[in-house]
Amino acid sequence: MTKKFLITGGEGFIGRNLKYFISNMGYEVKSLDIEGNPDYKISITDFNSLMSISEDFDAVFHLAATTAPPQFDDDPLYGFHNNADGTLNILEFAKRKNIHRVIIASSSVYGNSNSISIENDVVSIIMCKLKYPYLGFNEFLHFKWK
């Protein structure tokens, strides 16, 4: 049976490209977002709506986030809630739905570089294993799925 993936933030910059890439590889892929025209128009902060998703997935690519620094300036509490609570919701959703992999993109994968421009294709950013702790989620994932 073909693998099926869920991309949160699937209407965003990386999410759109990843969805295209994964479906071209022959896998099934569904998107979740609060903008655009996703398969699931659901917020990652709405745990009950997440749990109403009845499809099974092999893995979740978690890319939904408040990403623009000005958004944090305008409303830091919402930015924190969206990214921290939203991510915990996705982890709990995955646990309860028996999804064994949650892949998270982090700029920490670049390490401490002095270079202004870093050449990277989208997939290598996403697939890169977290090398450094990022808000403690690295340890959290390890704890949940060891």
Residues that bind ligand NAD (CB under 6 A): 8-9, 11-15, 33-35, 43-45, 63-67, 82, 86, 105-107, 125
- What is the rounded CA–CA span in Å between residue 17 and residue 34? 17
Least Å distance between CB 130 and ligand NAD? 11
Token pair 């830091």 is found at 76
Query: Alpha carbon 10 to chain centroid distance?
Result: 9
**Pick 26 or 69: Cβ nearer ligand NAD:** 69
Closest CA to 65 of 47, 80, 49, 52: 80
**Pick 124 or 139: Cβ nearer ligand NAD:** 124
- What is the rounded CA–CA span in Å between residue 66 and residue 71? 7
Least Å distance between CB 3 and ligand NAD? 21
- What is the rounded CA–CA span in Å between residue 3 and residue 18? 15
**Pick 25 or 118: Cβ nearer ligand NAD:** 118
**Pick 66 or 138: Cβ nearer ligand NAD:** 66
Least Å distance between CB 62 and ligand NAD? 8
**Pick 29 or 82: Cβ nearer ligand NAD:** 82
Least Å distance between CB 33 and ligand NAD? 4
- What is the rounded CA–CA span in Å between residue 11 and residue 66? 13
- Closest CB to ligand NAD belongs to which residue? 12
Do 140 and 91 touch, CB atoms closer than 8 A?
Answer: yes
